[in-house]
Amino acid sequence: MRMRKLGKTDIDVSLICLGTMTWGEQNTEQEAFEQLDYAVDAGINFIDTAEMYPVPPKLETQGRTEEYLGNWLARRGRRDDLVIASKVAGPGNGLSYLRGGPRLTREHIREACDSSLQRLQTDYIDLYQVHWPDRSANFFGKLGYEQNPKESMTPIEETLGALDELVKEGKIRHVGLSNETPWGVMEYLRLSRENNWPRVVSIQNPYSLLNRSFEAGLAEFAHREETGLLAYSPLAFGMLTGKYMGGKWPEKARLTLYERFVRYTGDHAADATRAYVELAYQQGLSPAQMALAWVNSREFVTSNIIGATSMEQLKENIGSTEITLSADIVSAIEAIHSEFTYPCP
């Protein structure tokens, strides 16, 4: 398993990060343990979770994913061998049941962190990420920015100041962002520099063959400021595996089970998906592994967050690290991208 530095830290993380958001909804605790055992044996040392998981978020399941991971850590005794990442939820996603509606204030961040530590059964979190901005911004499915004159925004200064306290107390080691924009990254870096507060080490945003919006403004930040991308949804909710092509809706698949996931199901996205899947088959590759291998090859990517509901999927996804795409395949991918530049935000 290839390793890459996490920002400007001394931490090496695996190129593949094990995502966990299905645990407690589509996956049982036993299945989560099986995934963890296999992934760690395969050389993965980076595990990503969040206080709001599993997804879709619900009151009755909130925090269950962290609990599963915490139970595994307690039973296996492997805490010091792994880099554990979690997230504090910002407003949005209908999480009114979480602290009366989560905000990125000092009070909310401290409460969220303490609760995550308890569920994870650990004294510290290696990477604590701000799950999405506490302001109006063009994130998570929005390409265009629209000003909201009535917005209620928690100042980034308050958010980063609270995270600084947690670092000094030893509860978290490093700070990351998720679903963030270039302006937001700039503000976090500015405030870090001016106040000697923790420096952002990563940006966890969507990135795949169907969604390359990260390249427009954030890839340069990731490169020049060493705030590498933790790419989530690299298979676009499974679309890039080709399993939904031709109007198929496989039983127990995420898009079959949950109507809320419509981000990658439009006609334009379906046409782009078909082109990528056909290219993979022409080259004798698994569509999933080609899509993941392409993400793995991007220099501004620190780690590629893969998720799976079956061991077969997990093994195939991890196997993408053994594939090197030829220059001809990359050129063909770019040609498809030129035709379908933004099939979905």
By annotation, the residues acting in catalysis are 53
Question: Cα separation of 163 and 172, whole Å?
Answer: 8
Phi and psi at 204, nearest 5°, equal -100, 100
Phi and psi at 123, nearest 5°, equal -90, -15
What are the start-end ranges of the E strands in the chain?
A: 3-5, 12-14, 16-19, 46-48, 83-88, 125-130, 172-178, 200-206, 228-232, 301-306
Question: Cα separation of 285 and 323, whole Å?
Answer: 9
Which residues face 178 on adjacent strands? 204
Helix (H, G, I), strand (E, B) or coil at 18: strand
Q: Which two tokens stand for residue 320?
A: 């993408």
Q: Which two tokens stand for residue 305?
A: 């967050």
